[in-house]
Amino acid sequence: MSRSLGLATYLAYTRRTTAGSYTPMAQRPSGPLVWAHASDQTHINALLQLLERMRGQRPVLQMLLSARHTYVDDKAAGWDHVHPEGLPADSLPVAERFLDHWRPDFLLWTGGDLHAALITAASERGIPMALIDIEEDNLGKPGWRWFPDLPDALLRCFDAIMVRDEATKRHLRRIGVPGARIAVTGALLDGAMPLPCVESDRSELSRILLGRPVWLAAMLHEDELDVVLAAHRQISRMALRAILVIVPRDPARTPVFRAGLEQSGLRFVTWSQDEIPEETTQVVLADTQGELGLWYRLAPISFMGSSLVSGAHGSDPNEPAAHGSAILYGPNIRRYLDSYSRFAQSGAARIVRDENTLASAVNSLIPPDKSAAMAHAAWEVASRSAALTDRIADLVQDRLDQQEAG
């Protein structure tokens, strides 16, 4: 592609003023690789869910997931087909080294914070690129005021541009972006993706717990245990047969949870020891890995743990939403603040702050119609981005099919 005067001047300027080298964090995996850049935490969540959708059709697909101002490693932990990476300095020599190493087959860039060198170098290599979830306000940077044609030049590098609203589309048309490349698709949001579940376990426990109010404390931090148990005592005074399921955030801390339960005097069983709840059981300690999908399906009410403890940052609210469970959460949810805000604004989630507010919230949701209404609202919020996710997946898959055929 021929570079505009502003773009050429900017790239020359960064070559002189931007120091830095690039050292990759990992080797490039074999097979097709999609490079996805996230501008915020919501986009990280949405891109991971997009990858899972695409891997359903192309199991060998891998993702290079980059971000500059957001935390990637924690979300990508345990995903052996996701390779987290920070963005290198925005200069052409560094961008060339980045692309020489990773050789992506497709680039998905979400939100703003456009990096001129990376985008230009990728375009000149013929890498297919899509710009997702763009608003007019995030198309420029303060330092670009000396390069007025820079946004237009960068936007022309993308094969497809998906914008949030008509106003952004009109702005792009005014600065010269061809209308055929622009689609108004709304926001790319993290959404609901059901977790796996052993159906025989669900069926057996549904029969055992039939008629009993069940609530779940998921991803619980050990320092929250006393609050949750105190709340359950209050709940049990109103609903005598209520049963609490506790899923520790870290199963390795199970001994701490067992000690706390033994000290509480509540009657409990430990799931990892094949203990089945009985009529007198008050708490199930669900201390196994990878079975949250089972407990979300059984509990119409979920308190999302690691949210009452300062510095713990919360747990993903899309998980209970995907399984028809009403959502309760504490105030410390920094990592998922945007997601919780969407659920709370729609009446799909409620904040609690201590044992009293937690007990009150659970008691108010025990009537099935109350929890069902809240869970339905949560599902609607979590499903809003499904059509856009499918559209992006189809775009990427079609282009990868063409490359493989070609």
Condensed to tens digits (0 to 9), the pLDDT of residues 343-388 reads 999 999 999 999 999 999 999 999 999 999 999 999 888 877 778 8
Q: Which residues have C-beta within 8 Å of that of residue 221, sequence separation ≥ 6?
A: 249, 305, 306, 308, 309, 312
In the chain, what is the greatest distance between 2 CA atoms, to the nearest angstrom?
A: 77
> By the 8 A CB rule, do 295 and 218 touch?
yes
Regarding whether 104 and 248 lie in a shared domain, the answer is no
How far from the centroid of its chain's Cα atoms is residue 213's Cα? 30
pLDDT of residue 52: 83
Instruction: Calculate mean pLDDT across residues 149-155.
Output: 79
331, HSE (Cβ side, Cα atoms, 13 Å): 4
Q: Which range among 148-152, 169-173, 195-199, 356-360 shows the weakest confidence by mean pLDDT?
A: 148-152
Using CA atoms, how far apart are residues 86 and 234, in angstroms rounded to an integer? 47
* Same domain membership, residue 183 and residue 287: no
Cβ neighbours for 77, distance < 8 A, ≥ 6 positions apart? none
Which helix (H) or strand (E) segment holds residue 16: the answer is helix 5-17
Whether 177 and 29 share a structural domain: yes
In the structure encoding, which two tokens stand for residue 110, read together?
């979400």
- Phi, psi of 95, deg, nearest 5: -60, -40
How far lies 399's CA from each of 82, 160, 195, 394, in Å? 20, 12, 29, 9
Residues 115-128 have pLDDT tens digits of 888 999 999 999 99
Predicted confidence (pLDDT) per residue in 16-54, tens digit: 656 667 888 889 999 999 999 998 877 888 898 899 889
Q: Are residues 349 and 319 in the same domain?
A: yes
Shared domain for 209 and 182, answered yes or no, is no
Residue percentage of the chain with pLDDT more than 70: 90
Highest mean pLDDT among 73-87, 160-174, 220-234, 379-393: 220-234
Q: Which residue has the higher pLDDT, 286 or 67?
A: 286
C-alpha span between 228 and 235 (Å, rounded):
10
pLDDT band of residue 337 (cuts 50, 70, 90) is: confident
- pLDDT exceeds 90 at position 6: no
Work out the pLDDT band at 145, boundaries 50, 70, 90.
Answer: low
Cα–Cα distance measured from residue 372 to residue 301, given in angstroms and rounded to the nearest whole number: 9
CATH number, domain with residue 152? 3.40.50.11720
Do 314 and 170 belong together in one domain? no
How far does Cα 323 stand from its chain's mean position? 16
Q: Same domain for 34 and 156? A: yes
Whole-angstrom distance, CA of residue 201 vs CA of residue 222: 26
The tokens for 264 are 């509480």
Region label for 290, one of left (φ > 0), alpha (ψ between -120 and 50) or beta (otherwise): left
Domain total in the chain: 2
- Is there a single domain that holds both residue 46 and residue 184? yes
Domain extent for 17:
5-190+385-405
Of 63, 81, 69, 157, the C-alpha closest to 118 is 157
Give me the CATH number covering residue 259.
3.40.50.2000
**Is pLDDT at 146 greater than 70 in this prediction?**
no
Q: Note whether 241 and 370 are same-domain residues.
A: yes
Residues 19 and 93 in one domain: yes
Residue 32 shares a structural domain with residue 140 = yes
For residue 55, count CB atoms less than 10 angstroms from its CB and return exposed for 0-12, middle for 13-18, buried for 19 or more.
middle
Report the percentage of the chain scoring pLDDT > 90. 61
The whole-number average pLDDT for the span 239-259 is 96
